[in-house]
Amino acid sequence: MTGGARVAVVTGGANGIGLACVRRLSDDGFTVVVADTDAEAGARVTAEIPRAEFVASDVRVRQDVDRVVGTALEIGRGRLHALVNNAGQTARVRFADSDETTWRRLHDVNLHSVFSFTHACLAGLTAGRGAVVSVASVAGLVGAEDLSAYSSAKAGIIALTRSLALEHGDVIRFNAVCPGQIATRMMARVQADDELRAAVTAQIPAGRLGRPEEVAGVVAWLLSDGAGYVNGVAIAVDGGESAGFRRPKPAAAVRRRG
């Protein structure tokens, strides 16, 4: 990297995994432009994290995307060095009971936003010889019961990542991370219910939920020169959950572990 500010864009960076990425990239010296709908949390990001700039924006709205990327390009004087496509939403519903509005919302927020941000950042990333990490999910590596819209959107992110790595791999690296069950508000239901948490953690070799910082560490590495020859991969960050089948435990043993 030669001189000047290194500029990163992080979507959904006001909370959870995105916020951990913003903190980590700031520690690594990046100026970070944060896109999120949550203006209250965004104000805290600007106040507390050095070199973080919050832009209230919805990743589904193309004018908002262009405003965020315009801010980043202005800071980087036409060059961008990192993009983290992290914004996401989920909804648990049986496929038979699902409706078109929810399906479109989940695909717009989780998948179409990766198209919009990547497309808008492409020239800047080419000029900066940057890297992109998109936050998919283990639900995109396998199927996920009651999460068909979410898991299909996340599978789309993984396929898009690989396609972009093939098209742009001489200049920009494109990789994905696939978190398992990470302790953020997306997992509030699991964290609040002792029995459910015990059942969930029983499926995870690590025996616990992951921390947002543990995902951010992998994201930061994928964006670093240390990963300079890593392109087009989807890395599970899931405490081993997607490694294979686990033997079911009797309920009493699960409760003891919880």
Ligand X SMILES: O=S(=O)(O)c1ccc(CO)cc1
Residues in touch with ligand NAD (CB under 6 A): 12, 14-18, 35-38, 58-60, 86-90, 109, 135, 137, 179, 181-182, 184-187
Nearer to ligand NAD, 128 or 174 (CB): 174
Active-site annotation holder among 150, 160, 222, 231:
150
Among 77, 189, 208, 256, binds ligand X (CB under 6 A): 189
Q: Is 85 in the site for ligand X (CB under 6 A)?
A: no
Q: Which is nearer to ligand NAD, 32 or 79 (CB)?
A: 32
Q: Which stretch binds ligand X (CB under 6 A): 5-13, 53-61, 179-187, 204-212?
A: 179-187
Handedness of CA 154, 25, 126, 169 (dihedral sign): negative
Burial of 28 (0-12, 13-18, 19+ CB in 10 A): middle
Nearest to ligand X of 203, 231 (CB atom): 203
208 binds, among ligand X, ligand NAD, none (CB under 5 to 8 A by kind): none
**Which residue's entry shows tokens 């919880």?**
258
Q: Which of 21, 72, 87, 139 binds ligand X (CB under 6 A)?
A: 139
From the list ligand X, ligand NAD, none, which binds 92 (C-beta under 5 to 8 Å, kind-based)? Answer: ligand X
- Residue with smaller CB distance to ligand X, 22 or 139: 139
Cα–Cα distance between 167 and 164 in angstroms, integer? 5
Q: Does 246 bind ligand X (CB under 6 A)?
A: no
Active site residue 150: yes
Asked if residue 3 lies in contact with residue 29, where contact means CB atoms within 8 angstroms, the answer is: no
Cβ at position 71, least distance to ligand X in Å? 29
Question: Are 172 and 222 spatial neighbours (Cβ–Cβ below 8 Å)?
Answer: no
Query: Do the beta carbons of residue 41 and residue 14 sit within 8 Å?
Result: yes
By C-alpha distance, which of 147, 204, 186 is closest to 19? 186
92 contributes a contact to ligand X by CB under 6 A:
yes
Query: Residue 137, interface with ligand X (CB under 6 A)?
Result: yes
Give the burial string for 122-146 (b: 16+ CB within 10 Å, else e).
bebbebbebbbbbbbbbbbbeebee
- What is the per-residue DSSP string for 18-46? HHHHHHHHHHTTEEEEEEES-HHHHHHHH
Q: Does 77 bind ligand X (CB under 6 A)?
A: no
Write out the DSSP string of 165-193: HHHHTTT-EEEEEEE-SBSSGGGHHHHH-
User: What residues line the site for ligand X (CB under 6 A)?
Assistant: 90, 92, 137, 139, 147, 181, 186-187, 189-190
**Positions marked active-site:** 150
